[in-house]
Structure 1
């Protein structure tokens, strides 16, 4: 039987790449995003499988609940949820950060993930099968200047994934957290509020991860035998590793 993947944040970056690779592998799709024209473009592109698109802002609980309640019967049995919708905003130190940016990250990266997971999970449990793959970040484990609220939201994703595994023990539901490092998509353009010059500078002289790299990992996880659960997968490009501890020295 054809499987169905539900992908949030499907209009760009990791989400779009996931949609493309799962369609290539023959999965039907539910694609969620805020930009209707991009969803339509993606649906027109992925003609080899059945694609249902929904314009939805995952920050809005009622929108999410209505989206799941009104899924067509053909797409109502979700085999895989890819919680991809998320963003980083700003790089200012905490004392100068914009509280609106912090709230937007909390609402999207935490609340949005919670809303979609909670809406889809009961049906997965009742069927005794299903996968949840959350897109976290190395920022959830490794702090860096300016990462403040963003890193904290991704730490939440990591621990929520672990606790889901504990809650879902014995149900047959698998949960994984994929934690990318330096990756080039629209991520930095959004982080710098549309300043493409600043965004491009982040990747200058590097060979970062690509959305396809992450999408292939997500598909690999979903394609493991049903008794195998990869709890957490941290991935960096070769050009990235860890720095020495920062030590402030008095003059």
Structure 2
């Protein structure tokens, strides 16, 4: 958080310098481009030393006032802040170079130096540090809460996907059962038709059997009648022949 204060102070110094120039309160002139870069380098050196002093003071103050949790968090973030400080220092150098190029020739660097020194000597109070650490802890707690929520949502989504897969499997099984039932129904219909055909064939066979029996009965009765008729004819012939012989033996006198 401290590098941001330096950037803010630098930008404020440039803006205040411009305002003083337009009001006409400055009497000194800017140096050449090389001298300007030397001044910026010196101010960066002052900023670096003030960074180290402020870091030591903040560590001493934090060890006395803040709880062990906040102190441990501050220790872990010290390396990160140092890297951010170096990056912002290079950014400040590039920003100041562009700002110096845009300034008029009669602008003095004294006010800018004073503003930079004031920004370098500025220290954070205990309340500000507590607020910063409180915000950091709140952010970490919020991150943990969000992580847990995301994890719960992932678990819920996985469970829901598994449930959908189970439902899909059950639906597929039901479709297979319906297909099997449909096939069984078709087979039953075919078997029923075949049974009806067999019944019809059995009925035809029964009718033919009855017809055959009737024909056989007719033939039997017909043959009996013929035999009796032949016997009757033979008897009548024999009787007539016998009578004719008796009639021929009687001679009239």
Q: TM-score range by the shorter chain?
A: under 0.3
Q: What TM-score do you get using the length of structure 2 for normalisation?
A: 0.19
Higher relative contact order (CA 8 A, sep 6+): 2
Query: Which structure's residues are more often strand, by fraction?
Result: 1
Q: What TM-score do you get using the length of structure 1 for normalisation?
A: 0.19
Work out which of the two has the higher radius of gyration on C-alpha atoms and give 1 or 2.
2
Query: Which structure's residues are more often helix, by fraction?
Result: 2
